[in-house]
Amino acid sequence: MKKTGERDLFLKIWKERPHVCTACNKKLYGEPRVHYFSHILPKSRFPELRLDPENILIECIECHSDYETKGLDVIRSKDNFQKKLDYIKDKDYMRYAKLKGV
């Protein structure tokens, strides 16, 4: 298995942050699962941000899936939408403008 550094970063984030979905406030129990860690800007398009802790939010599996597959109306309705916008604004203005509706 290829080492990316993500596992170590995820464990560090899990130790430092509350085990609560930042999108819906659902409590997350048990051991950390890879699906609990959502990259705000996708690592496929922004590989340089893959290990940036500010680019990763803790989300439940449902909210993580929504962020990756649902439309803008669903994404905008989540509690952590503004936090994502704040991060995106400095890194990818075109995506920010689309999400913001500019």
pLDDT for 1 beyond 60: no
Q: Which H or E element spans position 49?
A: none
Q: What would the two tokens of residue 83 be?
A: 């936090």
CA distance 81 to 99: 9
pLDDT for 2 beyond 80: no
| Whole-structure pTM value | 0.87
38: Cβ–Cβ under 8 A, 6 or more apart, which residues? Answer: 56, 57, 58, 59, 63, 64, 67, 68
Show the DSSP H helices in 6-100 as ranges: 6-16, 61-69, 72-76, 81-91, 93-100
pLDDT tens-digit map of 36-89: 999 999 999 999 999 999 999 999 999 999 998 998 888 889 999 999 999 999
